[in-house]
Structure formats: C-alpha cells, structure tokens
C-alpha cells in the first residue's frame, strides 16, 4: 500500500489565458460623427468589461471545482527540485545524523524538555534550510517511534527527507507551520484519477480530508492518502486530534508507517523497503535519500 501521490506532476493548474479582443472598427467609408463614435466606443468598453467579468468568473469557478476550497493545491511538485542521489537503493542504509536529544515520557515533548529540542532543531535549521518547527516534529516522532519500535532504528532524517520531497516541509506554495504544528493553507494533492503516473483512487473520505467526494487526494505535509491516514492516523502533538494537516501528527504517522512490517532502517534493504512503501519508485527513493543525506551532513555541522 502506498501512502502519498506519485512525485511526478499529475496535472497542472491551467488558468485560461485571456484573449485579445477581436472587436473591429467600422469600414473606411462609414465614419460616424464624433458623438456617435464616442457612443460606439462606450458600448465596446462595456462589452469588454462584461467579457472580462465572464472570464474572471470562469477562472474562479474552475479553480473552486478543482480544489473545492482555497488551499495549496499541488500543481507544482517540490520533488522535481531535488536531484536523485547517485546511489543504488538496497545498498545504502539510512544516513547517520545528529541524534535527537532524549525527550522521554509521552510522544509530545513536555515544557521542561523544550529547551534541548529547541536548541537541537534551531541548530540544524540554520544549516539545512528546514524550518525549526518542522525539525521539532521529526525529532519528537523519532523519539516516539524509537520507544515503540526500537529495532526499526528510525531516524528523524528519513522523515525529513520524505517531507522535503512531499511538501518542502509544509512550505509548499506559501504554506506555513503554526506553533501548534498546523500547516496552512492545507496542502492537498492532485486528484488521483489515473493520469500523470498516479493510480486511480476513488473517494474514501467523503471529501472530509481532501475536499474531493469523487476521488481521493494526498493530504498534508507528508501527503497521506485519506485511506492510508485512516489506518495510520496519529496524534503527535498530544492535543487529542489526529490531523494529517498537522506536521506533528503527520510526522509520527509517517514514522510508524515507515517502520511497518518489522523493517530495520539501519539496513540497506530495510531503508529501501520503507521509503518505497511510501512511493514505489526507485527515482523517488533516490530523491529522498539525497535530501536525507544532505540533512544528515548539515546536522553534523
Ligand atoms: Ca476524497
Ligand atoms: Ca494532534
């Protein structure tokens, strides 16, 4: 089962290009009096205004039809900005990165533990071009999954690599992460209609998560398909709600998803199996590796 969309562009937002007016002037031997000419120009101006209004309405309606609401629809694909690493998947394990300060206790970091996690995340953020708030989410997920499944050896750096490819760490199309981890505007992928290398996935959520009652779309900073979220939904920030648009929740769910089936991400085959379970594409896996490796190096100064 695959969680997110294919990284290749499924479709692009097509905004109709307004066309040049084809209104013609009258014939040469048919010159109207100046006052009449003004009246004609006035009518032409009115027609032009009406035409522009119609075009604007069509653009607005078509955009609402595509996304259903004002969200960060996924017509640009961040993955394309990351060059696949020149590695053979299956031979490279999870890159070694600076460990997360031990948080202990519940999945959500308590107030007394914020300082060290904040220092850790801010130190890496400045070197890796990853929002510190996103790194905190990956760090908390790293610790939580390590407690749940120590043999998986999950590191935050794999979640960070995925998140870079899926949404540029919740920054896709101007989205931003709030203090509580919510990513707004919501990042909703293209309709999974079988085009652009995507599978066809019928609606499973009644549009509740993805705003689409006909098909499903990947949702949130880690781009979970609604049916996958239904199985792996997690509450990383401990607010009692599992929300794929919240980076804490999405990062914890992604970590658990990667560690499914007893995988060991410290091995080449285990890491490959984990990442390709997200998206069964060798090139995708090598992009994730490239991003994860970059963050691992940045974390070590
Ligand atoms: Ca749906
Ligand atoms: Ca939550």
Residue 56 banded pLDDT, cuts 50, 70, 90: low
Nearest to 163 by CA among 184, 199, 140, 137: 137
Q: Confirm if 138 and 97 have CB atoms less than 8 A apart.
A: no
Q: Does residue 4 have a pLDDT over 70?
A: no
**Residue list, CB under 5 A from ion ligand 2:** 235, 237, 239, 241, 249
Tokens matching residue 150: 């120590």
Q: Under the phi-then-psi rule, with left for phi > 0, alpha for psi from -120 to 50, and beta for the rest, what region is 277?
A: alpha
Ligand nearest to the Cα of 240, by number? 2
Q: What is the mean pLDDT of residues 252-274?
A: 97
3-state secondary structure of 239: coil
Q: Does residue 103 have a pLDDT over 80?
A: no
CA of 4 to the centre of ligand 1 (A): 13
Least reliable range by pLDDT among 19-33, 136-150, 271-285: 19-33
Q: Does residue 224 have a pLDDT over 50?
A: yes
Residue 178: the pLDDT is 97
Residue 34 banded pLDDT, cuts 50, 70, 90: low
Least reliable range by pLDDT among 22-36, 109-123, 140-154, 257-271: 22-36
Ligand nearest to the Cα of 244, by number? 2
Residue 297: the pLDDT is 96
Residue 86 banded pLDDT, cuts 50, 70, 90: very high
pTM, entire model: 0.74
Ligand nearest to the Cα of 203, by number? 1
Residue 48 banded pLDDT, cuts 50, 70, 90: confident
Tokens matching residue 10: 């499924």
Q: Does residue 264 have a pLDDT over 90?
A: yes
CA of 182 to the centre of ligand 2 (A): 9
**DSSP-derived secondary structure letter, 200:** B
CA of 250 to the centre of ligand 2 (A): 9
Residue 292: the pLDDT is 98
3-state secondary structure of 166: helix
Report the C-alpha gap between 183 and 202 in whole angstroms.
25
Ligand nearest to the Cα of 230, by number? 1
CA of 192 to the centre of ligand 1 (A): 9
Ligand nearest to the Cα of 219, by number? 1
Residue 45: the pLDDT is 77
Please state, rounded to an integer, the average pLDDT across all residues of the chain.
81
Q: Does residue 16 have a pLDDT over 80?
A: no
Per residue in 175-217, pLDDT (tens digit) is 999 999 999 999 999 999 988 778 899 999 999 999 999 999 9
Q: What is the mean pLDDT of residues 232-249?
A: 97
Residue 41 banded pLDDT, cuts 50, 70, 90: confident
Ligand nearest to the Cα of 251, by number? 2
Ligand nearest to the Cα of 137, by number? 2
CA of 294 to the centre of ligand 2 (A): 29
Least reliable range by pLDDT among 60-69, 132-141, 142-151, 252-261: 60-69
Per residue in 153-168, pLDDT (tens digit) is 999 999 999 999 999 9
| Domain edges within the chain | 29-67, 76-299
CA of 199 to the centre of ligand 1 (A): 14
CA of 255 to the centre of ligand 2 (A): 15
% pLDDT > 90, the chain: 62
Tokens matching residue 78: 């961040």
- Higher-pLDDT residue of 253, 113: 253
CA of 234 to the centre of ligand 2 (A): 7
Residue 44 banded pLDDT, cuts 50, 70, 90: confident
CA of 108 to the centre of ligand 2 (A): 10
Q: Confirm if 74 and 174 have CB atoms less than 8 A apart.
A: no
Given the DSSP bridges, would you call strands 176-177 and 183-184 parallel, antiparallel or unpaired? antiparallel
């Amino acid at each position: 089962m695959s969680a997110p969309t294919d990284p290749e562009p499924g479709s692009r937002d097509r905004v109709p290009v307004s066309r040049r007016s084809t209104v013609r002037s009258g014939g040469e031997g048919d010159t109207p009096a100046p006052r009449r000419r003004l009246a004609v120009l006035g009518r032409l101006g009115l027609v032009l205004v009406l035409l522009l209004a119609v075009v604007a309405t069509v653009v607005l309606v078509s955009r609402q039809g595509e996304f259903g609401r004002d969200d960060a629809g996924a017509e640009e694909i961040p993955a394309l900005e990351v060059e696949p690493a020149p590695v053979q998947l299956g031979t490279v394990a999870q890159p070694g990165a600076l460990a997360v300060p031990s948080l202990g206790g519940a999945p959500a970091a308590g107030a007394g533990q914020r300082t060290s996690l904040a220092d850790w995340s801010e130190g890496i953020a400045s070197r890796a071009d990853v929002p510190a708030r996103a790194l905190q989410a990956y760090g908390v997920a790293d610790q939580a999954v390590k407690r749940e499944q120590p043999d998986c050896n999950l590191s935050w750096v794999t979640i960070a690599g995925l998140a870079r490819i899926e949404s540029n760490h919740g920054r896709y199309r101007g989205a931003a992460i709030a203090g509580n981890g919510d990513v707004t505007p919501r990042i909703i992928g293209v309709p999974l209609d079988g085009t652009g290398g995507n599978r066809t996935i019928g609606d499973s959520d009644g549009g509740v998560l993805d705003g689409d009652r006909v098909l499903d779309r990947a949702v949130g900073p880690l781009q979970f398909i609604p049916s996958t979220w239904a199985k792996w939904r997690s509450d990383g920030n401990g607010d009692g709600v599992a929300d794929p648009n919240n980076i804490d929740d999405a990062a914890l769910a992604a970590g658990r998803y990667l560690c499914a089936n007893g995988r060991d991400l410290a091995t080449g085959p285990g890491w490959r199996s984990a990442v390709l379970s997200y998206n069964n594409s060798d090139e995708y896996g090598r992009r994730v590796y490239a991003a994860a490796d970059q963050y691992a190096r940045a974390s070590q100064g």
